Amino acid sequence: MKLILGIESSCDETGVALYHTERGLLAHALHSQIAMHNEYGGVVPELASRDHVRHVLPLIREIAAQADCKLTDIDAVAYTQGPGLSGALLVGASVACSLAYALSIPALGVHHLEGHLLSPLLSKPAPEFPFVALLVSGGHTQLMRVDGVGKYTLLGETLDDAAGEAFDKSAKLLGLNYPGGAELAILALTGTPGRFKLPRPMLHSGDLDFSFSGLKTAVRTLSKQHTLDVQTRADIACAAQEAIVEVLASKAMAALKQSGLKQLVVAGGVGANQQLRAQLDRTAKKSGSRVFYPDLEFCTDNGAMIAFAGALRLQQQETKRDYRFNVKPRWDLQELNIG
């Protein structure tokens, strides 16, 4: 199994990539639907599915040309099987399985979070197993012990909103565009640290769980109490980011301490946040640990992580040429565990 086509279509990004097990990532391309959904203030599932239909095949042709490959050179197709929006997932799954059937090669459903989790292994220097992973995306916030491909132990997770959701909901209250995390981080750059102090939910709870829903309420209250001039918006953004980052960094460090491991991997869209990276690097240095991040373009959803996770899985398991497919909009990562 050498050349793997990866297809990601779980939410609002169509991502495709060609990964070669010896030559690495040959080509990847992404179409983001953010501008289309922005007008509605969030992802509209039906529009997302239709847009994936429009873009997936042209993107596959584009990367095949970039990598100077023919479709017949592909040895397997990996696609995001879940979790995500069912209609959106079905587009990737049906294209992947039809293509695999036509080419008479295996098709493999990949867990979206496993893609994120393993994505730092695409960058250099790469972490080595075992490590602790902080998974911070728009829908998930989890701390996971990773002992190898398919060896995942959940250490802690959010009890309500994900960290990305906390960024996005705070951003919305400040009048920023969807999804808001990256825009809020930019606005926070001009904020006055310390003008506002927001709660750090569950910081001292003694476990590795998170809770972010109270933060959005605190941001709402603050934004009602003040005139939202440019500086005040920036100051609130700064306070919201500080609160989220402090909780994430502190719990991630506690997870390292508890597990006795020295490597932390950060994956998912919120992993692009520069303040989170700076704080994690600072605290990790003090404890003699090291933090690994995917390249910025592979923090948010992309096809490369799906092709890569598919390649690792295919090295491990028997390949079945079974082209019946189903999608798993809800799917617990630990169900993947082997052995």
Please give the residue ranges that form the binding site for ligand KG4 (CB under 6 A).
11, 137-139, 164, 167-168, 179-182, 185, 268-270, 272-273, 300-301
Least separation, in Å, of the C-beta of 182 and Zn ion?
Answer: 14
Residue linked to tokens 């989220």: 244
Q: From the list Zn ion, ligand KG4, none, which binds 185 (C-beta under 5 to 8 Å, kind-based)?
A: ligand KG4
**Cα(43)–Cα(105) distance, rounded to whole angstroms?**
33
Nearest-angstrom CA–CA distance, 187 and 43 = 23
Q: How far is the CB of 23 from ligand KG4 (least distance, A)?
A: 26
DSSP 86-124: HHHHHHHHHHHHHHHHHHT--EEEEEHHHHHHHGGGGSS
Min. distance of Cβ 307 from ligand KG4 in angstroms? 16
Taking the least distance from each CB to Zn ion, the nearer of 183 and 301 is 301
Tell me which stretch binds Zn ion (CB under 5 A): 34-42, 167-175, 294-302, 321-329. 294-302
Rounded to an integer, what distance in angstroms lies between the CA atom of residue 75 and that of residue 70?
11
User: From the CB of 317, what's the least distance to Zn ion, in Å?
Assistant: 23
| Site residue total, Zn ion (CB under 5 A) | 2
Is 11 in contact with 269 (CB distance < 8 Å)?
Answer: no
Nearer to ligand KG4 (CB atom), residue 189 or residue 203: 189
Among ligand KG4, Zn ion, none, partner that 155 touches (CB below 5 to 8 angstroms by kind): none
Helices (H), the chain: 34-38, 45-66, 86-103, 112-118, 163-173, 181-188, 213-225, 230-259, 274-286, 304-316
CB of 273 to ligand KG4, least distance (A): 3
Token code pair at residue 129: 């197993």
| Residue closer to Zn ion (CB basis): 63 or 136 | 136
* Residue 301 makes contact with Zn ion by CB under 5 A: yes
Compute the Cα dihedral for 66, 72, 77, 79 and give only its sign.
positive
87 binds, among ligand KG4, Zn ion, none (CB under 5 to 8 A by kind): none
The torsion defined by the Cα of 247, 249, 254 and 260, in degrees rounded to 10, comes to 160
- Which of ligand KG4, Zn ion, none does residue 176 bind (CB under 5 to 8 Å by kind)? none
Considering only residues 124 to 183 of the shown chain, the ones binding Zn ion according to CB under 5 A are 137
**From the CB of 116, what's the least distance to Zn ion, in Å?**
5
Which does residue 180 bind out of Zn ion, ligand KG4, none, counting CB within 5 to 8 angstroms by kind?
ligand KG4
What is the distance between the alpha carbons of residues 47 and 14, in angstroms, rounded to a whole number? 13
Residues that bind Zn ion in the complex, under the rule CB under 5 A: 137, 301
